[in-house]
Structure 1
Amino acid sequence: MSPRTQRRRRPEVDGSVLRWPGARARFALFGESLWTGALMALVCIPIVTWPAAVAAGSAHLRRFVHAEATPASEFFRDALRALPGAAGLGAATTVLAAIIGVDLALVAGGALPGGMPVAVIAASVGIAALALAVLAASLWSPGMRWRDLVRVAPRVAAADVSGTVYLLTALGLGGIVTWQFLPLGIPALGLVAFALVALGERRMLRWTEAAA
């Protein structure tokens, strides 16, 4: 038997099973991600609650990856715990999105001077704000203050540039599939939440190894 085959049959060689035992059942993990997307979609219905949905979805999949209990009731408890602070962030990002949308519409109609440069700046601000808000929501855990999460998110993004690029890619792909066919936004939510969890675990592992 070749060493490569042995490694494939023994995934614990790199410690992944010890760190993330719930990820060993890949199909179950994929199914849980889709289910999490459906739960997140319910919480997102009022729109301004979307950060609470991201926070609860990330916490839910993080528990699954670590082979902890993941009942739907715990997801909704997390969403309710996150909601008081998340609603403010959700309202702020919703208003910002509306303002940017109006600006882009005015630029497209020729009513706003500046043309393409204004559109690029507005879109860049919106994308950056969304990415930081999503990152802040993914860092949430019970007891954490949203003010602190919003404050630390830019530092986390700057400290993990490649992870930030992956985050933007995940958000972009989620947006594209949702734009192509709206119902696909439901599973896309779960897959984005899983990407957030994977990036968070990746950061922790890299920073732990760097500190060792």
Structure 2
Amino acid sequence: MPPEPDGTESKWPGAANGVELFAQVIWAGVLTALAGFPIITLPAAIAAGTRHLQRYLRAERSSVRNYGADFVRALPGGLVVGVMAVLVAGLLGLNIFLSLAQVLFAWPVILVLGVLGLALTVLILLQAGYHWTPDRGWKGAIAEGARKLRDDPIGGVMIVAVLAVSGVVIWLLPPLIVAAVGCLLFTVLTVNVRQRRI
């Protein structure tokens, strides 16, 4: 017997063809990896990437031109967010490095806190990128992303799990970074739109 319709195709018509959806996820990863290559442009690239996938899933126009327009709109405030994220990640990375060298007092504790802090920074960055809109801006997007993480910790764990797997995949085979980035974007999107049972 065919499965009963659950409304997925009417709400997300772009998800009807799994192969095309997978291709769009990879394509979004390519665009986001290229746009976010300077690192400080990563927040704007994430915002454009998640909006690109949302448009595709809704069967709306999801062209490179649309991606570029979103990226340009998100870039001014996104650069500030990107610089702040790089500074925080750099500080946490230095603490992790010194902890691994065991030159800090209570280095195991500092190592754990550093890794957790780094994961939280990436989580907030991904969630802020998803919640960014031209009307909301980056300040509102960061606040909304933090609220989402507070209200849905399981969703945060899901994103961290995909982030960890992506890190291992990239470490083993660096060219797969575009696929990993696309999968991360798709994970953030699905975590935010999924129906949760209370």
TM-score, normalization by structure 1: 0.88
Aligned counterparts of 1:190 and 1:166: Cα–Cα separation in 2: 15
- The CA deviation at 1:143 is 2.3
Work out the number of aligned pairs and report it: 198
Which of 106, 109, 116 aligns to 2:108? It is 116
Residue 30 of structure 1 aligns with an amino acid whose one-letter code is F
- Residue of structure 2 in register with 1:56 after alignment: 48
1:115-194 equivalences under 5 Å are: 115-194=107-186
- Residue of structure 1 in register with 2:95 after alignment: 103
User: What's the secondary structure of 1:6's corresponding residue?
Assistant: coil
- The CA deviation at 1:109 is 2.1
Residue 46 in structure 1 maps to residue 38 in structure 2: yes
Aligned counterparts of 2:124 and 2:23: Cα–Cα separation in 1: 27
Q: What are the superposed Cα offsets for residues 71-127 of structure 1, whole Å, 9 maximum, x if unpaired?
A: 111101101111111111111111111111211222222322222111111111111
- Normalized per residue, the structure richer in helix is 1
**Larger CA Rg, structure 1 vs 2:** 1
Residue 149 of structure 1 aligns with an amino acid whose one-letter code is A
- Residue of structure 1 in register with 2:76 after alignment: 84
- The CA deviation at 1:133 is 1.6
Which of 61, 67, 75 aligns to 2:59? It is 67
TM-score, normalization by structure 2: 0.94
Segments of 5+ residues of structure 2 without an aligned counterpart are: none
- The CA deviation at 1:206 is 4.5
What RMSD over aligned residues (CA atoms) do the two structures have, in Å?
Answer: 1.6
Aligned counterparts of 1:198 and 1:125: Cα–Cα separation in 2: 24
Q: What are the superposed Cα offsets for residues 139-169 of structure 1, whole Å, 9 maximum, x if unpaired?
A: 1123221011112222111212221211111
- The CA deviation at 1:27 is 0.2
> Against the structure 1 CA distance between its residues 161 and 106, is the aligned structure 2 distance closer, same or farther, given a 3 Å change threshold?
closer
Aligned counterparts of 1:85 and 1:123: Cα–Cα separation in 2: 26
Aligned counterparts of 1:17 and 1:51: Cα–Cα separation in 2: 30
User: What's the secondary structure of 1:70's corresponding residue?
Assistant: coil
Which of 1, 6, 25 aligns to 2:2? It is 6
Check conservation: 2:133, 2:141, Cα contact below 8 A.
Answer: no
